[in-house]
Structure 1
Amino acid sequence: MADPSLKAALDAGRFVVAPGIFDMISARVADGLGFTALYATGYGTVASHLGIADAGVATYSDMVSRMGRFAQGCRTPVIADADTGYGGLLNVRHTVMGYEGAGVTAIQIEDQEVPKKCGHTPGRRVIAARDMALKIEVAAEARRDPNFLIIARTDARTGLGLDEAIERGKLYRRAGADIVFIESPESEDEMKRIGQEIDAPLLANNVEGGRTPILPAERLKAIGYDIAIFPAIGFLAAAAAFERVYTHLRDHGDSNDRPAGDDYGFGRMNELMQFPEVWEFERRWAREEG
């Protein structure tokens, strides 16, 4: 079931900052920090699971199990990337039912052609606006729980301009989207226009090194946004940490003499992975095995 707390937060006017999660270590760390929601990034999930570009190669089957594991392993509501819905209208229906059944709280569907591409990379093309609106109508009809939220994303800004992107956002809202996501606006002024012209909860995508300026949460709220996702912040930091410690190991032949605080700590990781619960279970039941 969807977690009602995300919808309640939006209804109450609380601004939501959602960090990107991409595997269960990142999910467990973020889950313990008190965020209102977590964002299960398609880019990061595909990269960590398959080690390839987020370019439409991953399938529904690849993704629903991963997204479900995030949702089931976290107490915090999970917003999940579902690309284009993995096909036509019947695929969208199946995707919504599958993600909802897996425990996800919000699903993001975009209007790119298949195969899709990452929203901050070049060469994206979109389907007809009416075809996407039908996908949103199908998605809204397919959900069983009103707390399960539908996010409609348009990638029209880069190829067709801001006016077209805004008109699509309005259309997708009328079609039944709970949240509108205009991908890749290229300035704060563009973001202000989106906030002024679209009467719907709005999502801002903050990608370090991407096409859109990263604004503070207070500023985003002031110009009309309701959610800020940071899909890349976790895996970019993780990749840098991997490179640093692996380079040290290559150059020194051991893991000694690294800077203090350079790792998470084996004890903390044991706690994060819930080893104390395993040890307590073993203590309780050891007498039966002896």
Structure 2
Amino acid sequence: MTTTNSPGARLRHLLAGPGLITAPGVYDGLGAHLVARCGFSAAYLTGAGVAAAGYGLPDIGLLTATEMVDRARVAAEALGDVPLIADADTGYGGPMHVVRTVRAYEQAGVAAVQLEDQAFPKKCGHLPGKELVSAREFEDKLRAALDARADENTVIVARTDARGPLGIHEAVDRANRYAAAGADVLFVEAPRDVDEIEQIAAQVEAPLLINMVYGGLTPDTAPGTLSALGYRIAIHPGALLVPGVLAGLDALRRLGGTPPADFTPGPRGLFDLVGLREWSAVAERYRAGTPDPA
């Protein structure tokens, strides 16, 4: 089925036009209203933001599909006609789980579903220690996502996290494989410098999305530069989240609180505020091969 005025159709109309689509990150209804009222043409449902601000958790694969779909529905309703690009992590399982995820996200009103090739449980793309599934396994998930769409205009975004564990060449190779498998937009996570940003633009044969993470691994790059290179979408997951955290810490300091002295406003610092060290200790305790405590 094709719906000409669906969220996906509106996003595809933007992709067919000129210029870079800037999509600020949202994770609740208030932020979605702010993005719409400030005139942005698209928004991004940030998994990291939903985890941290919505549930007080680090972005290490602790959220469920149901929790993300609930937030997607709230954000999509608040955004109105502004299309929402929604983070769906690994699809929350194998191909059959991806089918259910895509159907639920569409019913929630999203314009695009973003899937990634990390193994479960995933991690924020700007944290170390990521593990991947094989490219073939992820291609199976992509085919499931494409087949599951009720509206053929729903955009499927394929993200590869191969740059960290396997290097930029493997990341580019995977992105091109995923484009050949039918993904509508390609997302190579966490290029390390401008040369890599340029390499991705030159060598990946598909519409491109880039992630501008405050304090992350990718250098902040001007919209005009990204547009000139051919990038079509720039997401800014921390656009509302990071200033909100900084303002909140300052407000609590003025009330007599003592903010953490070692806090830095990047992904690691943010996730430490919501228990990354503690959850990492839990994971390590139950890691296969770890001896039981005496």
> 2:71 aligned to 66, 69, 78, which one?
66
Say whether the 8 Å CA contact 2:213–2:237 is kept in structure 1.
yes
- Cα RMSD of the aligned pairs, angstroms, is 1.1
> 1:183 aligned to 186, 189, 199, which one?
189
What amino acid is aligned across from residue 7 of structure 2 in structure 1? A
**Given the two structures, how large is their TM-score scaled by the length of structure 1?**
0.84
Report what 2:240 is aligned to: 234
Once the two structures are TM-superposed, the CA of residue 52 in structure 1 deviates from its matched residue by 0.9
Counterpart secondary structure, 1:54? coil
Say whether the 8 Å CA contact 1:149–1:179 is kept in structure 2.
yes
1:142 aligns with 2:148: yes
Say whether the 8 Å CA contact 1:43–1:118 is kept in structure 2.
yes
Once the two structures are TM-superposed, the CA of residue 134 in structure 1 deviates from its matched residue by 1.0
> 2:25 aligned to 16, 20, 28, which one?
20
Q: Higher relative CO (CA 8 A, sep ≥ 6), structure 1 or 2?
A: 2
Whole-Å Cα distance in 2 between the matches of residues 3 and 126 of structure 1? 28
> 2:201 aligned to 178, 195, 205, which one?
195
What amino acid is aligned across from residue 19 of structure 1 in structure 2? P
What amino acid is aligned across from residue 31 of structure 1 in structure 2? A
> 2:40 aligned to 35, 43, 49, which one?
35
Once the two structures are TM-superposed, the CA of residue 14 in structure 1 deviates from its matched residue by 3.0
> 2:254 aligned to 235, 248, 251, which one?
248
1:51 aligns with 2:56: yes
Give the count of matched residue pairs. 251
What amino acid is aligned across from residue 12 of structure 1 in structure 2? G
Whole-Å Cα distance in 2 between the matches of residues 135 and 84 of structure 1? 9
Once the two structures are TM-superposed, the CA of residue 3 in structure 1 deviates from its matched residue by 4.5
> 1:153 aligned to 156, 159, 164, which one?
159
Say whether the 8 Å CA contact 2:157–2:184 is kept in structure 1.
yes
Say whether the 8 Å CA contact 1:192–1:224 is kept in structure 2.
no
Whole-Å Cα distance in 2 between the matches of residues 189 and 181 of structure 1? 16
Say whether the 8 Å CA contact 1:78–1:106 is kept in structure 2.
yes
Whole-Å Cα distance in 1 between the matches of residues 38 and 71 of structure 2? 21
Counterpart secondary structure, 2:240? helix
Name stretches of at least 5 consecutive residues in structure 2 with no aligned partner. 1-5, 258-294
Say whether the 8 Å CA contact 2:8–2:112 is kept in structure 1.
no
1:126 aligns with 2:128: no
> 1:95 aligned to 93, 97, 101, which one?
101
Say whether the 8 Å CA contact 2:47–2:87 is kept in structure 1.
yes
**Given the two structures, how large is their TM-score scaled by the length of structure 2?**
0.83
* CA deviation profile, 1:93-114 (whole Å, cap 9, x unmatched): 0000110111000111000000
* CA deviation profile, 1:234-289 (whole Å, cap 9, x unmatched): 111001111122222337xxxxxxxxxxxxxxxxxxxxxxxxxxxxxxxxxxxxxx
What amino acid is aligned across from residue 54 of structure 1 in structure 2? D
Whole-Å Cα distance in 2 between the matches of residues 7 and 83 of structure 1? 22
* CA deviation profile, 1:9-46 (whole Å, cap 9, x unmatched): 11123310011112222111111111110011000111
Say whether the 8 Å CA contact 2:8–2:83 is kept in structure 1.
yes
Whole-Å Cα distance in 1 between the matches of residues 254 and 62 of structure 2? 34
Whole-Å Cα distance in 1 between the matches of residues 78 and 215 of structure 2? 30
